[in-house]
Structure 1
Amino acid sequence: MGVMKMDNKQLIEDVREKAEGYFQRGEFFCSEAVVHTINELLGWPFPKEITKLSSAFPIGLGKSGCLCGAVSGGSMALGMVYGRSHGETMQEKMFPISAALHDHIKNMYKSTCCRVLVKDYEFTSPERKNHCVKITGEVAAFIAEELMKDEDTACKIDMNFKK
């Protein structure tokens, strides 16, 4: 694996900032921001309504406090690229990348559980929201970077994507 080109690094940062912006402005929750941003990064291979599939995942799966919604959204975004339709063979590369996403967030934040990630914050505080916005951006950036590393999917990325 070679050194990532500067344009790719900028694109990853643009993905991070776009996902963070959607969440920060209240346009989407964490899972929705990731799915919407990655669909956009890929040049809209799915209708914009695909984001609706991720709407039950915020605040740890429907406000249950379990798996971080951003991580759920990241896994859904991987499904947009590596998922299969009925009768197709499963693309095995999705599993290690999805596991790597989980491990990446767990290594950075010591958990992927929403209630653990936000335990040091008053839930309605701007500090908690900013914390979750950063996690959302990190997940979107991680997915973008992984897609760029894969020569089979890098060609699907809209290089004109702008934050």
Structure 2
Amino acid sequence: MEKNEIIESVRKEAEGYFDRGEFFCSEAVVHTVNALLGSPFSEDVAKLASAFPIGLGKSGCLCGAVSGGSMALGMAYGRKHGEPMNEKMFPTSAALHDHIKDLYKSTCCRVLVKDYEFTSPERKAHCVQITGEVAAWIAEKLLEDPDVAKTIKASRK
């Protein structure tokens, strides 16, 4: 599978989980990126993202997809107790934040959905799109990292 095909596959997978109601935004991103990486974590890892939807537990703050995306980056760049911080972690997470802010003018859930009735299909479609964008952006960045890309390609054979 080519890089762009993988990215679009990841986008559609994350969007599908959210659109079908199987996961909320943060969970969909974490679950999808875990699969992209060859499932280095049990599928229970999505539970760690369950408090983040609707802007951190329905508080309307940081977009759940962005929160889940930062968690998903930790799958590739995170550390264990006693290890040094991976130099890629902070700049990549900040770049995700900036990418979504550039595209949507905010990373705050309540701002991202302010023009929608929350229970409307239009709001859900908007959030599904953001979820797919986050997952696709992460997939692209991970595929651009030679160390991570070889893991991804090996897991997709």
TM-score (norm 1): 0.93
Match of 1:85 in 2: 80
Q: 2:99 aligns with which of 94, 100, 104?
A: 104
Letter matched to residue 27 of structure 1 = E
Q: CA deviation at 1:84?
A: 0.4
CA distance in structure 1 between the partners assigned to 2:138 and 2:154 by the alignment: 15
Please give the per-residue CA displacement for 1:86-118, whole angstroms capped at 9, x wherever unaligned. 011110111111011000000000000000000
- AA partner of residue 35 (structure 1): V
**Paired position in structure 2 for 1:75:** 70
Deviation, structure 1 residue 160: 6.4
In structure 1, what is the equivalent of residue 9 of structure 2? 14
Q: Is the 8 A contact 1:29 1:58 kept in 2?
A: yes
What is the CA–CA distance in structure 2 between the aligned matches of 1:158 and 1:74, rounded to whole Å? 20
CA distance in structure 2 between the aligned counterparts of 1:44 and 1:80, rounded to whole angstroms: 10
SS at match of 1:138: helix
CA distance in 2, matches of 1:62, 1:79: 20
Is 1:143 equivalent to 2:143 in the alignment?
A: no
Measure the CA separation in 1 of the matches of 2:147 and 2:154: 15
Question: Counterpart amino acid of 1:155?
Answer: K
User: Deviation of residue 155 (structure 1)?
Assistant: 1.1
- Relative distance call for 1:159 and 1:131 in structure 2 (3 A) is farther
CA distance in 1, matches of 2:59, 2:152: 34
Contact 1:31/1:69 (<8 A) preserved: yes
> Structure 1: where are the runs of 5+ without partners?
1-5
Count of residues in Structure 1 that have an aligned counterpart in Structure 2: 157
Q: TM-score, normalised by structure 2?
A: 0.97
Note the alpha carbon deviations across 1:6-58, whole angstroms, 9 max, x for none. 81001100000000000000000000000000000111100000110000000
Q: Hey, what does 2:42 align to over in structure 1?
A: 47
Match of 2:31 in 1: 36
Q: What is the RMSD computed on CA atoms of the aligned residues?
A: 1.4
**In 2, distance between residues paired with 1:47 and 1:160?**
15
AA in 1 matched with 2:139: A
Query: What is the one-letter code of the residue matched to 1:11?
Result: I
| Mapped partners of 2:123, 2:63: distance in 1 | 13
Distance 1:39 1:86 in 2: 21
